[in-house]
Structure formats: structure tokens, C-alpha cells
Structure 1
Amino acid sequence: MKKLHIAALAVIAMVAAAGCQSQGAAGKASGNFKGETINLVVPFDPGGGYDSYARQLAPALGKELGAKVVVVNKPGAGGLLAMNELSSAKPDGTTLEILNMTGAVGSALAGADGVKYKPQDFSYVGQIASEPDVVIAAKKGAIKSSADLVAAAQKGGLRFAATGPGSNEYVDPLVLSKALGVNNKIVTGFAGSGEAALALLQGHVDAYSRSLGSQLPTIKSGDGIPILVLGSKPVAQFPDVPTMLDVAGDAASKEMLQFHAHLLESGRTIAAPPKMDQARLAELRDAFAKVVQEADFVAEGEKAGRPIVYKSGADVAKTVDELMNPPAAYVDILKAAYQG
């Protein structure tokens, strides 16, 4: 009887252990990361929007996982160097990265020099932010509306600022040129986005396109005015400003602009290396979802001017699969953008 009792206890223990393993695989916190150090890589210099999101996320995610999450800045080649490193990092979840999905997908579609990863291979933890780009003009300038923008471009005299080939700021005017049948001139050579914005306000360029969050300070100060939303729907801050879909011409142009909006709105995402251990990935996804949907965390982002827009890792992966099948004409634009 005693041997039978011991055997029964052993079976119970085995069932309990299997249940714990099943819980971990289903995304319930299992303590896989307890006591570990996780590097959260920002592929840009400190101080920007990506850095801000990462530094807000790191302590909260670390607390939820029972781990220490350290923000590591690795700028270089517009984020390409860090993405290449992520693609070959150990797939255990101790290296994460906040990705600019527009750049990550766009550079791969363009076949840009140095790309050693496939966006669809990354293990996506979840999206933390999503926003459209917005074209602004200087309040003291001649451009006051989207109609003025198109009219100036038709005359061949519209100058867009851009920090360099391959950036959103460079791709946006190229897409508008192709879709609207206009001629945009792109002025580069700026040391950064701040210098490009200053060139707009000083009248050296006529328009500047970048993310909504980055444009808001200039708009709120009264120095810049929103002209066109490069997204699929208007934004709450200025609902009367048209989207690029509102000014699209034929069906082919609208298809191109719709794809561009989809790419821009793919947002800022937390990713892990390819072939991630599924139990650990599930735990990361579960912890991330809990943290970024918590009311205080969302309020903190709003206060900092960095709104939180959550999407699950599984949904991000689905979006990436969709983005890897672009219109042929759009790929030609991306190739031109990365060649400069």
C-alpha cells in the first residue's frame, strides 16, 4: 500500500508539472525571466521618441517579468545595424528591440544595401505605438492647405525637407509625387530632424513630413500648420485636415496611398529574435500586454506626448505578412528612396 501511495503522489506531481508547463506555453507568467537581465535595444540615439517609449516600458516590463530590463542605445545606419544584430541574437528573449516598422519593412522591400534580416522572421512581442505622418508648412509661408501644396508641386517648385534617403521624410514626398502626379523636390543634408524643422520655419523649404507626435510641438507653438495627414483616417487633434486618401486621384494612386498608410501605421513595435522559444515568447507577450494596457501606463504616455496604441504580437506578425506583398509601383518608389 505504501508503494502504491508513493506512486500515486508521483503521478499527481507529474500532472501538476505538466499543467505548469502548459500554463507557460499559453502565455501565463511562469517565472521564466525571473532574475534575468533583458536588453531592450533602441536603434537610435538617446532622447528621441523611440528612446522615450523604451525608457517608459523598461521598468514596468521588468517588474512584471521579475527581471531587470536595461535600455541600450545602438544607433547606426538608420537602425539597420541593430536590426541585423537582432536577427542573429540568441532566441531566448534576453534581447529585445523597439523597431521602426516603416524602416524595418521598407528597407527590406527595397532590397537596401546591408539588410541581413527578413521582417517576417522576427518574433513580435507587440506594438506600443502607431501614428500617421503629417505634412506641415510654416505659418508664415505660402502653403496654407493641401490644395496649395498640390498647386505648388504641379509648378515644380515644392521643396520638402528630409534628413536623408530611406527615412520616412524622404519616402513620403516620393510617394506623393507618384500618386498625385506632381513634382516634389527633396532637400537633404540636415544633421537631424530639428535642423530640418528649423529650415522649414526659416523658409528654406516649403513642407516637412514626419510622425504626428514629432510634429505636434511645432503645430502647438503656432509656428507650423498641418496640411495633410499621411494616414487612412483624420486625426483627433485637427479633424478637418484631409488625409492623402482624400486627395488621391485614380484607383491605382489610391491603392498606393492606402498601402503607404498601412506601412506608416504599422508603428513602433517590440520584437525578439527569430525562432524564439515559444514558452518564453508567450510570457513576454502576456507581460507586455498587461503593462501597456494598464491605465497609469497609458496616462503616463499621454502626458509625455507619446500615446500608447497596443496591438498583440500575433496581430503584428499578421500585419507584417500583409506588408510583404506591396504593389509593384510602391517597391519602385522604395528603391528610389533608398538609393537617394
Structure 2
Amino acid sequence: MKFPHLLAAGLFACLGLSHGPAAQAGWPGDRPITLVVPFPPGGSTDMIGRLLASTLGKQLNQTVVVDNRAGAGGTLGAAYVARAKPDGYTLFLATTAHTIAPAIYDTLAYDFIKDFVPVTTVASLPHVLIANSAFPVNSVPELIQYAKTHPGEVNFGSAGIGSTDHLSMELFARSAGIKMEHVPYKGDEPMLTDLLGGRLEVAMPPSGIVLGPVRAHSVKALAVSSPQPSAYFPGLPSIAKAAHLPDYAFKTWYALMVPAGTPADVQARLYQGVTAALKTPDMQKGLQTISAEPGGEPSKDVADAIVQQTRQWREILKSDK
């Protein structure tokens, strides 16, 4: 898997295995490990987190418990982990949303670059532009035209302010030169419920959330956000091609992180555990069910991408204010 939009080459030393604190003896021993998922149950982050907890736990011969700490676009969970003891027993499933947050929120209780160390990516997936079945558009060009003739009358939903659904749609609207009204929800599930019920016109959630509704034809699928079409959605074009917006591309990544100061050999053991988990049939089948691609990038690539994306999101979003 290649890192999606806004990436640069790695500059960081991979995991710092020659330096840093020594690992806690016998880690993980007989203590369970907590994986903090910063979004509510039912969304793509939660799905991937639970799949990771199950498969990583088998690799480590220890229980990995998912702790959903949702709120404020994923930043509440991040703040909790940033304050946790860096001993390998509190892990964090970060997403693209955490590189977006510094451009959305004036103050954060943590520094995403300084307070965390990435272990590796777990998965990535595109988003899917969908409309409720009664909305009178059937393609991306039709949506753009409708929004232009009904400015401010089209509502789009998201999992919350600063979520990847939010920003994927904001970038689409900006690229297409249209204005739509943002309706934030507390997670993808309530948002999708309102869209299915006709109370919301459009949305662009991660593909894993809408795979079932798209295949059941209970929503109109218009396009995928990735640069190229997705094999999981045959016949569905990319937004870039459908709308003649060659610069538009968006994918969400999910990465396992630990608090800064976590012993280097614990990080190394986690990296080995995740990359081994990604090769298991359970993980591969699980990722396929939510239309996700496996990760496994070295820490150095993830760390550098985070620095680059955080800076570029700030430049993009601040320019719109």
C-alpha cells in the first residue's frame, strides 16, 4: 500500500532501535493492553481497531482491549493517550483526521507530532460520495450542477467537525467551486441513518461504512475519492475523472501510535506484531469486508508523512478562512 494524498519521502530513523529507553522487562507479560479508538463504535476506525485488537492480541499472546474515547474529531482520545504512561500498555489508533485537527482547532491538549510515535500503518481506504435515494442527482456532474443552482441548500453529513468525511467533502466542494452546508454528527452511524431516511442529501464516508448500503442499492453511489477506481466498487468512477477534477484525491489511513517515550524495543515488538497480523487470513478477510487495503509502512515513512500532511492541511484550511 502506498500512502495516499499529500505524502513525502521519509526522513525519520525507523523506530530508533539503537537508542531510547530500555523496554519494560517481560512486556507485555500478564497485563492486558488497551487500544484507544478515538471514534464511536460502528465506524471504520472502530471496525479496524477491533480487527487489529483481535489479531494483534494473538501475535502478542495477550489480550488487547478496545477503549472507545470519542469526541471533538478524534482529539479527546488523542489527548488521553498523550497523557498515558509510555510503557506499551496504552496504544492509539490514529487516522488522517489527526493531521487535520491542528488546522481545525485553535488549541489542542497535545502535540500530535511531538507526543506520539507511529509504529506503522494498519490500513487505508477511499471514501465514497453517496446521496440518498430520493435526491435528484445520479452523478457527480449532476450534483455539482444542482449545488450551483441551489447554493447552500444541499446538506452534507459527516462523523463530526474535523473528521475525514468532513474534510473529504470540503475539499470536493472547494475543488468543484460549490457551496454545501455541513451537518456534523457524533459518528458515521447516526449520519448514515439520517441519509438513508432522506433527512440528509449527501455524504462522503469511508468506504467500509457504505459497502453494504451501496451493494444493497439503498443509497446512490456517485464516485470514490481515491485517484483511481476501487475494485470494491466496480463501475464506480473516481471523483477526479467523473468531475474532471484531476487534482482531487483523498484516502483515509489508520496508524498504530504509542506515546512518545515508549521503549524502542516495545515499539519494535509492536511493529513485528502488526505486520505479522496483517498477513493472517483473519486480518486479510476482515479488511476486505470493509474495502480496506493493508498497511505495514515503516515508522519513518509514517512519521514524515504526518509532518508533511499536518503542515499542508494547515495551509489548505487556513487559506479558506
CA contact (8 A) 1:135 1:207 kept: yes
1:60 has 2:49 as partner: no
Classify the secondary structure of the residue corresponding to 1:323.
helix
Q: 1:33 to 1:313 in 2, by over 3 A?
A: farther
Structure 2 residue aligned with 1:147: 141
Structure 1 residue aligned with 2:219: 224
1:299 has 2:285 as partner: yes
Structure 2 residue aligned with 1:243: 238
Q: 1:279 to 1:332 in 2, by over 3 A?
A: same
1:316 has 2:302 as partner: yes
CA–CA separation in structure 2 for the residues paired with 1:328 and 1:117: 14
Q: 1:279 to 1:202 in 2, by over 3 A?
A: closer
Identity of aligned residues (%): 24
In the alignment, residue 310 of structure 1 is paired with which amino acid? G
Structure 1 residue aligned with 2:258: 272
CA–CA separation in structure 1 for the residues paired with 2:169 and 2:55: 38
CA–CA separation in structure 1 for the residues paired with 2:70 and 2:220: 31
1:289 has 2:275 as partner: yes
Structure 1 residue aligned with 2:89: 94
CA–CA separation in structure 2 for the residues paired with 1:248 and 1:180: 8
Q: 1:321 to 1:329 in 2, by over 3 A?
A: closer
1:165 has 2:150 as partner: no
CA apart distance, 1:24: 12
CA RMSD of aligned residues (A): 3.0
CA offset digits 1:74-112 (Å, max 9, x no partner) = 22333212201222322221110112x222110023344
CA contact (8 A) 1:44 1:79 kept: yes
In the alignment, residue 60 of structure 2 is paired with which amino acid? L
CA apart distance, 1:127: 1.7
Classify the secondary structure of the residue corresponding to 2:204.
strand
CA apart distance, 1:231: 1.8
CA–CA separation in structure 1 for the residues paired with 2:282 and 2:166: 36
CA apart distance, 1:274: 1.4
Q: What are the residue-to-residue correspondences of 1:246-265 with 2, within 5 Å? A: 246=241, 255=247, 257-258=248-249, 261=250, 264-265=251-252
Q: What are the residue-to-residue correspondences of 1:198-213 with 2, within 5 Å? A: 198-213=193-208
Classify the secondary structure of the residue corresponding to 1:130.
strand
Q: 1:328 to 1:281 in 2, by over 3 A?
A: closer
Structure 2 residue aligned with 1:179: 175
1:196 has 2:191 as partner: yes
In the alignment, residue 179 of structure 1 is paired with which amino acid? S
CA contact (8 A) 1:232 1:245 kept: yes
CA–CA separation in structure 2 for the residues paired with 1:136 and 1:181: 19
Q: 1:326 to 1:180 in 2, by over 3 A?
A: same
Give the structure with the larger helix fraction. Answer: 1
Q: 1:115 to 1:232 in 2, by over 3 A?
A: farther
CA contact (8 A) 2:102 2:108 kept: no
CA contact (8 A) 2:188 2:209 kept: no
Q: What are the residue-to-residue correspondences of 1:1-150 with 2, within 5 Å? A: 32-99=27-94, 101-119=95-113, 121-150=115-144
Q: 1:308 to 1:179 in 2, by over 3 A?
A: closer
Look at both structures and tell me which one has the larger radius of gyration over its CA atoms.
1
CA contact (8 A) 1:126 1:311 kept: yes
CA–CA separation in structure 1 for the residues paired with 2:175 and 2:92: 33
CA–CA separation in structure 1 for the residues paired with 2:18 and 2:29: 16
CA offset digits 1:103-157 (Å, max 9, x no partner) = 2110023344434222365211222221111111123331101110110111124
What's the TM-score, normalizing by structure 1?
0.76
Q: 1:239 to 1:276 in 2, by over 3 A?
A: same
What's the TM-score, normalizing by structure 2?
0.80
Classify the secondary structure of the residue corresponding to 1:231.
coil
Instruction: Report how many aligned residue pairs link the two structures.
Output: 298
